[in-house]
Structure 1
């Protein structure tokens, strides 16, 4: 049986403009520049250049007290005069050479060169190989990954040569060609395991006693070496501590990832462009927004005049009405985008100002032990914005400080109570843990239990499993693997 009933439901939906604004806020400087370029290309009613002499610093100061509310302008309500610039002098005549470096057009350079694979193939040209050997060698080089290793078994390579290259060979022939590939530079390339990679490099060194002992250790006791069972190595190879130390020293000089040493590739070098800059001026912190985040935009005078011409026309045809509707839509979009850019600037500046004030002690000293516990909600409450807005700013923006350029989200951390019941940042504990490990006796490295006791003695009562978690996050291996002879 069908029934009809009324149901009241309260829901909140974001407008397309709000969604676009959130996306703009999330963009870091370089991505924002691309978005700005795209909008300028797609909307002829939007132009770059100086519109008025208003001070952005004044707007930021006002924004810190409370963000302005921007109303969407309907097409029929557009006041053309609002879009007209008071400056009749062409912009290029007012430009001088004393502009900021931020105004320069910067592009990420491409490094010239050849690929790693081609670099290896060029070396193969000096080897004498018959047609079948050349095909096998080319296939082997193509199987080398960016670390310099061949991660596939010889039997798999033999099958692939048969199916894809119509080369029917045996494992012995492939191994003979592989030996030639493994003689290429950088040393160790074409290895199938770490053990083989290190042995290839050692065999190309001058055969000193230390090198010979290192080769023997890797060939006969690689498992003991990798687990740092030094006593077993001393007994098995009949060495004293000094000889073992010298042999291990030879191994530690080797490159476990030979492919990573090749620098002639044509990869794009990634550059980080700071979105903010913090400086200490006369004992006070000073925050500035990267000038590339504050472009000068205005609505096209030509489009505004076209609209004004239509309003003054006596006879209005259908084509003219369609044209003016298009013009109004473009003017409305341009006006909204200008307002959105201004609101983006305000949001970024307000959020970073609150973070800087919250972590003032750290930014004045650069000592990570002065980092206070801080979560997104702490900043959101200070600036009366949503947590998601703060997250968008923190996750993708960088700040240039006197102590280096850091991702803003790195300044956020959870709190842990010390023995006095005070909240301390987990980053502070990690920094102390890192220092303790760095200063330990490497012949007898500290276990997680010992590290937990030391931290407790310093006033940080945390469990052993928490120490293990922090140690792993810091990339510090377990005590056994930190041991040195």
Structure 2
């Protein structure tokens, strides 16, 4: 049965300006530059550069609009725009506004390097050369062929119309594996290391044992079951150590040396904040050198002024033009305001973090880092926790002792036996130091690490030690063992 009823509901709804600000808060400085350029391209009323024109949005008697048939009143719009010129601009240059480009030279790519060698070193007819180059095209950037030969046979039949078989491709692959760098064209790590060790001098005893370990005892080698290897090869511990040294000097990623130099620029870190320590006085500044100065277009402001004066001869097309101009001007003003709010929010948040961790930022001593969670900074700033999270994510600060992500300053806390509140980051650093200085022949187990921490006054469970060790990307004791 259908039924109609009236209801009143109280809902929270984000305005377009709030959504825009939230999105801008999430992006770091490097991406903000791209975001600003995109906005300038899409909105002709937003311009780049410092334009010192006088405020053109002053209220004039000549601008009065009494046409009640219009969708909006020009008077309402003009009256709201008694805004000083400085509020319509975003000055985003800092003292680090000097930006230098470092040129680099780019040589032949990894696959081009292999093809050049193929044409010089290997004698092949046209059909086999085509097949060999197709195999090279399937080799990954790190030097591995991770596609099985059967799939390549099928691809050649369907896409190239070339019929071949796995045996012929395998013979061509063996020729490719003779090219430099050693290990190229391997289908797994074991084959990659074997291809490299086979080019070594087999007159050396250590090379012979290294080849036997890789060929016949690879599983034991990866799991560091060294006693089993010693027993099965009937060798001494010193002989095993020499063989392992040969293996550890091999390259597990033979194609890594040919990585694209321009790829490094994609992951470049540009700090969002710059912290200077002037004789103990900390000075924080927002690094916005990649964001240009913005202002509302004078041309569009004059256009709106002209439309407002010409009331009598206004046509339907003129009204549509007025609506378009107004929308673009509003959008430009909203974006400039959002940029300014973003900067204010970033500085407010970072200043709160700076005040909270003031002793740490004096010299970078991590023992002075206090436990701090998002809620602590949210209470200091009066902002929502989600806002603090957006500011801390993907943002970096440059200090006298390095560049750090903001999220690295947030950590949980625990109490020592003396009742002192310490950061979990301090405990992780103790774990890292203990493991660094341990005997590699008898690495410390999680149980022993737990006892060391207890002796230092940190009451912590073994499973928590294991969790912190995993967060530090440190393997278990057995995998850290060396001969």
Fold match (TM-score > 0.5)? yes
Structure 1 residue aligned with 2:14: 14
User: In the alignment, is residue 47 of structure 1 matched against residue 44 of structure 2?
Assistant: no
Equivalent position of 1:205 in the other structure: 200
Distance 1:258 1:78, change over 3 A: farther
Matched, 1:343 2:341: yes
Deviations 1:344-373 (A, max 9, x none): 111111111111111222211212232222
Q: 1:11 to 1:107 in 2, by over 3 A?
A: farther
Partner Cα separation in structure 2 for residue 414 and residue 159 of structure 1: 55
Q: Which runs of 5+ in 2 are unaligned?
A: 54-73, 88-92
**Equivalent runs, 1:433-448 vs 2, <5 Å:** 433-448=431-446
Tell me the SS of whatever aligns to 2:289. Answer: helix
Aligned ranges 1:1-400 → 2 under 5 Å: 1-50=1-50, 76-78=77-79, 82=83, 102-104=96-98, 112-126=106-120, 127-207=122-202, 208-263=204-259, 267=263, 269-270=265-266, 271-292=268-289, 295-313=292-310, 315-318=312-315, 319-400=317-398
Q: Go from structure 1 to structure 2 and tell me whether the alpha carbon gap of 1:151 and 1:331 turns closer, same or farther (over 3 Å shift).
A: closer
Alpha-carbon distance in 1 for matches of 2:14, 2:249: 58
Distance 1:238 1:176 in 2: 35
Greater Cα shift, 324-333 or 368-377: 324-333
- Judge conservation of contact 2:94–2:287 (CA < 8 Å) in 1: no
* Alpha-carbon distance in structure 2 between the residues aligned to 1:244 and 1:409: 44
TM superposition shift of 1:100: 6.5
2:453 pairs with 1:455: yes
Deviation, 1:104, is 4.7
Change (3 A) 1:277 1:170: same
Question: RMSD of aligned C-alpha atoms?
Answer: 2.9
1:66 maps to what in 2?
Answer: none
Q: Distance in 2 between matches of 1:450 and 1:407?
A: 32
Separation (CA, whole Å) in 2 of partners of 1:277 and 1:5: 58
Structure 1 residue 50, shift from structure 2 partner: 3.1
Query: Take 1:201 and 1:186, find their aligned partners in 2: how far apart are those partners?
Result: 9
Give how far 1:482 is off.
0.7
Mark the CA change 1:291 to 1:137 in structure 2 (over 3 Å): closer, same or farther.
same
Deviation at 1:186, TM superposition (A): 1.5
170-179 or 358-367, larger mean C-alpha shift: 170-179
Indicate if the aligned counterparts of 1:85 and 1:301 stay in contact, CA closer than 8 A.
Answer: no
Q: Is the 8 A contact 1:448 1:464 kept in 2?
A: yes
Distance in 2 separating the partners of 1:31 and 1:109:
21
| Cα displacement (A) at 1:3 | 4.5
Aligned-residue offset at 1:10 = 2.0
What SS does structure 1 have at the residue aligned with 2:379? helix
Structure 1: gaps (5+ residues): 54-72, 87-98
The match for 1:477 is 475
Shift of 1:301: 2.8
d(CA) in 2 for partners of 1:215, 1:103: 56
* Closer/same/farther in 2, CA of residues 442 and 264 from structure 1, 3 Å limit: same
- Equivalent position SS for 2:265: coil
Whether the aligned pair in 1 keeps the contact of 2:50 and 2:293 (CA below 8 Å) is: yes
> Could you give the per-residue CA deviations for residues 309-344 of structure 1, whole angstroms, max 9, x where no partner exists?
444446342254443333333332222222222111
Measured after TM superposition, the shift of residue 101 of structure 1 is 6.8
Q: Map 1:399-438; keep pairs closer than 5 Å.
A: 399-438=397-436
TM-score normalised by structure 2 residue count? 0.85
User: Which residue pairs with 2:67 in the alignment?
Assistant: none
> Is contact 2:30-2:290 (8 Å) kept?
no
